[in-house]
């Protein structure tokens, strides 16, 4: 009995020893490997800033455990990519070269990849390289690609960096803002065509009293203002940055800009003035434009997917909007998601203030996924002068009567404008051929603004909204 027990122990011990040997009975890989991707595209990064980490999976299609003789980056130590293979990092110690990497039958291997770009001198630079796999008689390659942007960074350890003199930004470098960037002492910020401005989480661009903001985009070279995360998820969602804040008695002129993905697009304090043309304001947690006793002239504006409302007007002010598309398909929480919210009063820390409102909408579209695109919050302590002339409006509210109301003229009610694409990622808010808004614009208003947001003529049979075609 004791002899049998000893034999059994020896056998069990032998099984344990041999099963723990990872290198036991591994053959050199002789068949092609399979990859989760044959081209790995990393998101755009700023020069001298590392990217997120990406994963490439390598599959052994053979019935046997194998050893991959060699995995390496094509440019070795000159590579701007960093890789980690099966828990081992590349670098000076191994020259970004991994040898005899074990992979069990029908199992997978994880390779983690990131980009650590060097300084560049051009506005953008393409970084591409092959990750190479050598097996017996085979060489396989996975292409690694990323775009690097040259950037200037604005950062303050106190949370707010102040600029006291005029500043001009151009497209030679992207601008990245951490914290608050505030223009003071009557200074002016000019952002020229093609410039990209990125704001970090909770960052804000603040224009102080008496200062100016000028955005000079063009049809083919728009100014882009957005969050600094380049991955697709963050590119399409709100709340990636805070807002553009126009404080009291400031002036802003904006033409051909795309502003997206923050808490508020533009926030206006009292007596601030905004002229905004040919611009898109998309995907904001609160509002695309929020004005408290400001003054706005808007033409060819497209707004979409803002939690409370695309446009919020409080405490009165003076406003004129022509050929604008206020679309709101917000569905990320239970916020009301209006197209337009209008009020002639404002509550601040329990204190109410009232001011006259004067506002007109001409040849516009107000449409939402909810039943009401418009909310009128009227206080009898101040004038509330509003006109909707030749618009398409969604209205199922018993608080607003459109038929027979002299403030509404030539209104198309509750007829879906039929936009092409209304989501958060790259919306297309031009009109389908069957749209009831096609050809229904007032020619007097369209002649005053003869081209749509895409530069298409609208002097014949003008459409409602910002798009003629």
For residues 291 and 270, the answer to whether their CB atoms sit within 8 Å is no
Does domain 27-148 correspond to CATH entry 2.60.40.10?
yes
What are the residue boundaries of the structural domains of the chain, listed by start?
A: 27-148, 151-448
Q: Check residue 90 and give left, alpha or beta (phi > 0: left; psi -120 to 50: alpha).
A: beta
CA distance 221 to 302: 17
**Is there a contact between 313 and 361 (Cβ–Cβ < 8 Å)?**
no
Report the first-to-last Cα separation within the chain, whole angstroms. Answer: 93
Q: How many CA atoms lie within 13 A of 407 on its CB side?
A: 12
Output the tens digit of pLDDT for each of the chain's 469 residues: 444 445 444 445 544 444 444 445 678 888 899 999 999 999 899 988 889 899 999 999 999 999 999 999 999 889 999 999 988 998 888 888 999 999 999 999 999 999 999 888 899 999 999 999 999 989 999 999 999 999 999 998 788 999 999 999 999 999 999 999 999 999 999 999 999 999 999 999 999 999 999 999 999 999 999 999 887 777 778 999 999 999 999 999 999 999 999 999 999 999 999 999 999 999 999 999 999 999 999 999 999 999 999 999 999 999 999 999 999 999 999 999 999 999 999 998 889 999 999 999 999 999 999 999 999 999 999 999 999 999 999 999 888 999 999 999 999 999 999 999 999 998 999 999 999 999 999 999 999 999 999 999 999 999 999 999 9
Rounded-to-integer distance, Cα 243 and Cα 205, Å: 7
Pairing of strands 287-306, 27-28: unpaired
Q: Which residues of 436-459 are buried (b: 16+ CB within 10 A; e: fewer)?
A: ebbebbbeebbeebebbbeeeebe
pLDDT for 271 equals 97
pTM above 0.85, yes or no: yes
């Amino acid at each position: 009995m004791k002899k049998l027990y000893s034999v059994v122990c020896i056998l069990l011990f032998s099984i344990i020893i041999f099963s723990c040997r990872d290198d036991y009975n591994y053959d050199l890989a002789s068949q092609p490997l399979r990859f989760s991707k044959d081209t790995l595209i990393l998101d755009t990064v700023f020069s001298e800033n590392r990217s997120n980490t990406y994963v490439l999976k390598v599959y052994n299609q053979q019935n046997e455990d194998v050893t991959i003789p060699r995995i390496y980056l094509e440019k070795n130590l000159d590579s701007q990519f960093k890789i980690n293979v099966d828990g081992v990092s590349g670098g000076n110690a191994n020259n970004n070269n991994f040898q005899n990497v074990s992979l069990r039958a029908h199992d997978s291997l994880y390779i983690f990849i990131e980009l650590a770009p060097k300084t560049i001198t051009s506005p953008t630079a393409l970084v591409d390289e092959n990750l190479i796999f050598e097996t017996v008689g085979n060489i396989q390659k996975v292409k690694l690609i990323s775009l690097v942007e040259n950037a200037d960074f604005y950062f303050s350890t106190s949370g707010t960096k102040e600029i006291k003199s005029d500043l001009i930004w151009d497209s030679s470098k992207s601008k990245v803002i951490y914290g608050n960037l505030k223009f003071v002492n009557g200074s002016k910020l000019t952002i020229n065509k093609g410039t990209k401005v990125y704001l970090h989480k909770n960052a804000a661009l603040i224009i102080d009293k008496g200062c100016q903001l000028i955005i000079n985009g063009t049809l083919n070279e728009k100014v882009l203002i957005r969050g600094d995360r380049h991955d697709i998820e963050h590119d399409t969602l709100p709340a990636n940055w805070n807002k553009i804040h126009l404080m009291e008695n400031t002036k802003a002129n904006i033409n051909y800009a795309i502003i997206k993905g923050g808490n508020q697009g533009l926030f206006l304090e009292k007596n601030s003035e905004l002229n905004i043309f040919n611009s898109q304001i998309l995907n904001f947690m609160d509002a695309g434009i929020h004005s408290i006793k400001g003054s706005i002239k808007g033409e060819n504006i497209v707004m979409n997917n803002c939690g409370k409302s695309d446009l919020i007007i409080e405490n009165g002010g003076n406003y004129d909007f022509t050929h604008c598309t206020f679309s709101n398909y917000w569905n990320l929480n239970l916020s009301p998601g209006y197209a337009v919210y209008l009020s002639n009063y404002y509550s601040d820390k329990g204190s109410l203030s009232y001011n006259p409102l004067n506002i007109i909408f001409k040849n516009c579209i107000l449409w939402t996924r909810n039943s009401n695109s418009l909310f009128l919050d009227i206080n009898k302590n101040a004038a509330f002068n509003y006109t909707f002339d030749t618009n398409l409006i969604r209205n199922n509210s018993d608080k607003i009567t459109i038929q027979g109301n002299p403030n509404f003229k030539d209104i198309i009610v509750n007829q879906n404008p039929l936009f092409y694409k209304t989501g958060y990622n790259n919306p297309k808010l031009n009109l389908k051929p069957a749209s009831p808004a096609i050809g229904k614009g007032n020619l007097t208003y369209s002649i005053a603004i003869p081209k749509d947001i895409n530069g298409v003529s609208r002097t014949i049979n003008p459409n409602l909204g910002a798009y003629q075609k």
